[in-house]
A and B are shown apart, each in its own frame.
Chain A
């Protein structure tokens, strides 16, 4: 299937300063794509360019094959978005807010509005003014307005910002459901790595307006790539265990860290490795994937620029 969102060599200059440099990536239907970077990295600027709020200096952004610059109306039809905060009309009710945005999109009927109010669990307060809503409720109403016209691409800027853990969990569950059940492409931005890991299939790391890397979590969870696994056999037996593993698996990269073995191995080979270590007479107190490394890589990526 072709990509819903294509960002091609996008640059953004403001007063001679490059805010975004040579940014390219694409988002496929049915995936949740993360946009990770520290504050000020250019996430919001990029999102503004995607929805036509800010002109692109050079390059292009295609949504469902249409250029946001040249065929704005056709491109934006496929987009539902929240940029920055979910700002709704405080003096209108939740329902009136949705009616308002529905009128702007053409074919949206009352049934769809009710359906969405129920989806985001705001059906019982639809006659209440948005002024009285909590941030979490506003965020949910924001998602409802973005979904009204059944877009193919949902763009959410920091959707969990300011939410409590319960609210974050709800948003995460919605997004995953939308992507999996309705084949929606979802782009979310965040400055928190942990959130990206929980929510996204893939995510791009950007720093100072440049793409640093794209992480594919489906691959890292699945087969193929060796991942770091930490195995705790007790501090006394660490050296001996390392010897034994090295003899049996001469090709693997093995390190010692925090009094544990760190072995880079494909996921499907982990059970065999553990069985082997145990049969060699070692007790295993703990064995886990070393998620820390990703965080470290993110921090490295983001601090490298700052220190140089």
Chain B
């Protein structure tokens, strides 16, 4: 099995496209770095404690005014007011008053997880279908290892690739952030639920961002992998998965406004971050445990289909 994964790894990293994707991801980190550097206020421009507190108070006033005037977006204003009051009471300066640190830089880079997800989807979608496209699948399957083993070695390789890219993103962000911004004073993330404000250290918030982001793309990669095993078409596997990735969450949350059943949809559950941040899940009755069970069921369905189709399929290559 290790040899099979070695093989897949070798085939993956002899592809130019793999290196191009890696390079784009690193470029993304460098892009964020340049943006942060050019927009970073110098030390003497940072507001003093009195200044930022005054700023926040002013904002609270404006928000109250807005609430009275229209009543629209009440949730948003109430949350911001509560958070700002909490900061003033507890002496927690907002991001704009602490300046950039390695932690805030890494938190910004968590946005690159979207890019990474698409790359992982591409790898998952091509790792089986490309063998069919080139006809090499026949040479691969007329060997002692069983079809299930071959399929699993490919899946493991996708996961390994995802982990490697994640480590790269995490590592590059950490090293560059530490070099350019220093460790600084970690700012604090606030979570607002049902009128209560809680604080969470940014390092923990970061870990949650990256972990829940990983769950998201592992599920999508599994979906792309299954589609690739079932239809054997690269284009279809990439198109369907990326499309779902882009519109899935939006459509699901729209449906969730009106109905209860969307909570069983994949995309209502892939973003586990919703249980750790202020927004909350799209359907109120959902819990973290519920989402994890739904995800496991989806995962089993995807893998089951992939194995079943790959096992029984007659291997014919046209053209």
Contacts and interface: CB of A to CB of B under 8 A. Distances in A.
B141 interface: yes
A72 interface: yes
Given A90-B134, A104-B4, A51 B142 contact: yes
B10 interface: yes
A96 B10 contact: yes
A89 B145 CA distance: 19
Interface string A70-101: 00110011010111110111111000100111
Contact of B14 (A52, A96, A101, A103): A96
B7 A104 contact: yes
A145 interface: yes
A106 interface: yes
Contacts of B140: 104
Contact of B135 (A77, A84, A92, A99): A84
Contact of A54 (B3, B4, B7, B315): B315
B138 A76 contact: no
B44 interface: no
A106 B143 CA distance: 10
B11 A92 contact: yes
B277 to A, nearest CB: 43
A55 interface: yes
A173 interface: no
A81 to B, nearest CB: 5
Contacts of A96: 10, 14
A292 interface: no
B139, B140, B314, B316 — most chain A CB neighbours (10 Å): B139
Nearest to B2: A103
A243 interface: no
Nearest to A50: B142
B143 A83 contact: no
B38 interface: no
Contacts of A48: 314-316
Contacts, number: 75
Contact of A79 (B3, B136, B142): B142
Given A85-B135, A89-B134, A100-B7, A105 B143 contact: yes
Given A92-B14, A104-B143, A105-B144, A87 B138 contact: yes
Contact of A83 (B4, B142, B146, B314): B142
Nearest to A92: B14
A104 B138 CA distance: 13
Interface string A238-280: 0000000000000000000000000000000000000000000
Contacts of B144: 73, 76-77, 104-106
B287 interface: no
B156 to A, nearest CB: 15
Given A100-B10, A103-B7, A104-B3, A73 B136 contact: no
A52 B142 CA distance: 7
Interface residues of A, number: 31
Contacts of A81: 142
Contacts of A284: none
B11 A89 contact: yes
A145 B7 CA distance: 15
A12 to B, nearest CB: 11
Contacts of B142: 51-53, 76, 79, 81, 83
A268 B140 CA distance: 50
Contact of A88 (B136, B143, B315): B136
B6 interface: yes
Nearest to A87: B135
A262 B314 CA distance: 50
Interface in B241-287: none
A84 B14 contact: no
Interface in B98-134: 134
Contact of A87 (B3, B16, B134): B134
Interface of A: 48, 51-55, 72-73, 76-77, 79, 81-85, 87-92, 96, 99-101, 103-106, 145
Given A87-B134, A104-B143, 12 more contacts: A53-B141, A72-B146, A83-B139, A87-B136, A87-B138, A89-B11, A91-B14, A91-B15, A92-B10, A103-B4, A104-B144, A106-B144
Which 9 residue pairs across A and B have the least CB separation, nearest first?
A87-B135, A103-B3, A104-B143, A51-B142, A53-B315, A73-B144, A83-B138, A54-B314, A87-B136
Interface of B: 3-4, 6-7, 10-11, 14-16, 134-136, 138-146, 314-317
24 contacts: A48-B315, A48-B316, A52-B142, A53-B141, A53-B142, A53-B316, A54-B314, A55-B314, A83-B138, A84-B135, A84-B317, A88-B136, A88-B139, A89-B14, A91-B11, A92-B11, A96-B14, A100-B7, A100-B10, A100-B11, A103-B7, A104-B4, A104-B143, A104-B144
